[in-house]
Amino acid sequence: MSAVILTDEQREALQEITNVGMGQAGASIATILNEFVHLSVPKIFILRADEISPSIVSLVGDAEVSAVRQAFHGAFRGEAIVIYRNQSHTDIADLMGYDPDVDTVEEYELILDVTNILVGACLGGVAEQIRADIGFSAPSIMAEHIPAGRLISPDEVGSAWALFVEVNFALEGRSFACHLIALMPEEEILAVGKALDWFMETL
Amino acid sequence: MIHPDNFPLLKFVVDRVEVGIFAVDQAMRVTLWNRFMAVHSGRAADEVLGQNLFDCFPELPRKWLEKKIQSVFVLKNYSFTSWEHRPYLFRFHHNRPITGGIDTMQQNCTFLPVRGDGENVNHVCVTIFDYTDTALYQGRLKSAIADLEAERSEQRILIKKLEEAHNQLLQSEKLASIGQLAAGVAHEINNPVGFVNSNLGSLEKYVRDWARLLDLYEQAEECLAPHPEVLAGIRDTKREIDIDFVKDDIRQLIRESKDGLDRVKNIVQDLKDFSRVGETDWQWADVHKCLDGTLNVVWNEIKYKADVVKEYGKIPEIECIPSQLNQVFMNLLVNAAHAIAERGQIVLRTGHERDWVSVSVSDTGVGIAPENINRIYDPFFTTKPVGTGTGLGLSISHSIISKHGGRIDMESVVGSGTTFRVWLPVCQAVQAQGSPG
Amino acid sequence: MSVSVLVVDDSPMARKMLIKALPPSWDVTITQASNGIEALAAYRTGTVDVMFLDLTMPEMDGYQVLETLRKEDLNCLVIVVSADIQPGAQQRVRQLGAIAFVKKPVKPADVQSVLKEYGILV
């Protein structure tokens, strides 16, 4: 792991900002779903391309997962990936306005919806704090029922380094849980670093 | 909200763009309704503006859509739907009424938060893109991929069959080589067997002469009375070698040896008959000889499973390729033995009816399951454990019998046994004249 | 006499933001701690009047600090500062004895109104 791309100070600031962004996301989601949301302390790593897949495995275990990808763009670009352990999504169907006995197609629409909400709230919250303007593309299914270790292969990652921001969501009283990771290539990490510097100067 | 009505250029674009655009406020009242929406829904803007969206369109999935729009108000963030998971929001006709094969416009929708003054979102704007063409292409692509997949799996099956056929070919080549080897060995064995047999004939004669001479000597023993020491020596030796037993046993030994040689000769002959693999000459042959010869060859496979009962009728010689018939009989006999789980009986019957000869092989085995009856002559079909059968025996038999202008039929009762009956024309010219049985 | 303020947060930036948000007119002595253990140690060495406490921290988190303070019946005004702004979380910390809740990112106006509400600042 290398901290050269982001200074300790920048990384610490990003962690705190992500923490606040998540808190806002959690509150918004709690309002929509009417349930208490458990949030983990966000973790931030700068990883080599070949370290991404093992990090995902250590995050979710080597279970079968489905995943949704959503790109973000604007002041900084990257991809957010929300990873769902199988069998856990139907638990929130009713909260999202779906029939509790969703079929497969609806289940995918459901995790697309959930992803959109999590990514928008979480990354939107981060961007808003550092006054960066970012937008989101429509989410799309990245993988259906594959081992977590096969989600991202190193040769798919176009950058030598990636910023790996990890956030875990769980709903109290429901079995639903998922993991959000945001991946950004090297030059975008530098852009984030600049935005963080500017933000800290204004404090 | 910057309403397009206040900006002529914006209003023109919003109205004429080939995208459905509408907006609702927090109370789900319609606040924007462009021409695309009006044309496709059949409801003009002045009919729906200010009205509750769900009152105007009760067919919309209210619970889900309200939640979705609500989340945009609260999270102040975009939301999406994709035709792949939700084919449409509004049931609109699409632009391919004739050639499409889809009855509803496939739609991708974007829900965007419209911030008024300050932070709050006071409208949610929805855009509807027509994805029907994409959906059609994707559908075609999917079915093309499915076809390719199907073809690929068919090819995989064919390749597997080819491999099996190849193995079978190797197997039959091996059999042919073994057959040639056996024929060669049989020929080589025939020579020594021939001279041993002839020597044995001479030996038998010599021994008989010798015995006759010995009898004369024995009768002459009395003349040796004046030489008691010579006589005692002879009697001691006779006692020592048990001459009475030897005289008796020598004949028996020779007879048994001749029997043994006859059996060797028979086996060699069967082997030679059976292994005439390359032989494709039509000739007149005795079916009973073919049956007996084959039975000898496969006896080892059968003897521990079944008693063989022969109920041979009186049949004429038939015009056939004996080595091929041998192969048919071998398959039927081996199958019959395999069908018997512990121990049972195999009955061989032959008969003669007009210009036809019949050969049947009945076993007291497990029988053939009804669902398999139509497949028993299919190449590679087998119910035997992997490695035991090739699944080609009956299909080869079937084609040999067809080549002879004959027919094979089968009766089977699950749990009690199976009978295969082969009908063969006596002479090949008779083929066209009616069917047997 | 100046008021003794303890700012507890594992993030230096968050501490900086909070200190910036305190009313400039307020006469305070500020101590900082980066986790619960440090916070309790700082508290026990002297008299802390007001504690601004983050909830999610390594070593010992804000909830545990609140529980300890309540068990030891120590006297201190605790204002929780947290990113977890769900109503449920606010309720939980109030039950544990915090007098107020300020949400992150901290805004000067929020801090001021809380201080005024509880008569800490006149």
Q: Which residues, given as ranges, of chain B have pLDDT below 50? A: 277, 432, 437
* Measured distance CA(A84)–CA(A60) in Å, rounded: 9
Mean pLDDT, contiguous 10-residue spans, chain A (203 residues): 71 88 83 81 83 86 88 90 77 79 78 88 86 89 88 76 81 81 86 88 81
Strands in B407-413's sheet, in edge-to-edge order, are B306-311, B344-353, B356-363, B417-425, B407-413
Q: Do B425 and B404 form a contact (C-beta atoms < 8 A)?
A: yes
Domain B281-437 in CATH: superfamily?
Histidine kinase-like ATPase, C-terminal domain (3.30.565.10)
pLDDT for the residue numbered B391? 59
User: Does residue A19 sit at the C interface (CB-CB below 8 Å)?
Assistant: yes
Q: Do C86 and A36 form a contact (C-beta atoms < 8 A)?
A: yes
Interface present between C and A (3 or more CB pairs within 8 Å) = yes
* Measured distance CA(C49)–CA(C57) in Å, rounded: 22
What three-state secondary structure class fits B149?
A: helix
* Measured distance CA(B197)–CA(B200) in Å, rounded: 5
Q: What is the pLDDT of residues C10-20, one digit of tens each?
A: 888 899 999 99
Question: Are B68 and A97 an interchain contact pair (Cβ–Cβ within 8 Å)?
Answer: yes
pLDDT for the residue numbered A70? 95
Residue boundaries of the structural domains of chain B:
4-130, 281-437
Question: Are A16 and C14 an interchain contact pair (Cβ–Cβ within 8 Å)?
Answer: yes
- Closest CA–CA distance from residue B25 to any residue of chain A (Å): 17
* Measured distance CA(A44)–CA(B215) in Å, rounded: 119
Return the CA Rg of chain A: 16
pLDDT for the residue numbered B388? 56
Q: Which residues, given as ranges, of chain C have pLDDT below 70? A: 1, 74, 122
Q: 């855009």: which residue's tokens?
A: B127
- Closest CA–CA distance from residue A144 to any residue of chain C (Å): 32
What interface predicted TM-score (ipTM) does this complex get? Answer: 0.82
pLDDT for the residue numbered B24? 96
- Encoded tokens for B47: 């009919």
User: Does residue C31 sit at the A interface (CB-CB below 8 Å)?
Assistant: no
What three-state secondary structure class fits A119?
A: helix
| Domains of chain A, start order | 8-201 (3.40.1550.10)
Query: Cβ contacts of residue C39 below 8 Å, gap of 6+?
Result: C6, C8, C33, C51, C53, C60, C65
Is B289 exposed, middle or buried, given 0-12, 13-18 or 19+ CB atoms closer than 10 A? middle
Q: What is the pLDDT of residues A121-170, one digit of tens each?
A: 888 888 888 888 888 999 999 988 888 888 887 777 777 777 888 888 88
pLDDT for the residue numbered B358? 94
For B4-130, CATH number out of 3.30.930.10, 3.30.450.20, 1.10.760.10, 3.40.50.720 equals 3.30.450.20
Q: List C-alpha distances in Å: A21 to A31, B193, C103.
A: 15, 102, 11
DSSP conformational letter for B282? -
Q: Residue B44: what are its φ and ψ, rounded to 5°?
A: -70, 160
What three-state secondary structure class fits A141?
A: strand
| Domains of chain C, start order | 3-117 (3.40.50.2300)
Instruction: Give A200's contacts in chain C (Cβ within 8 Å).
Output: 13
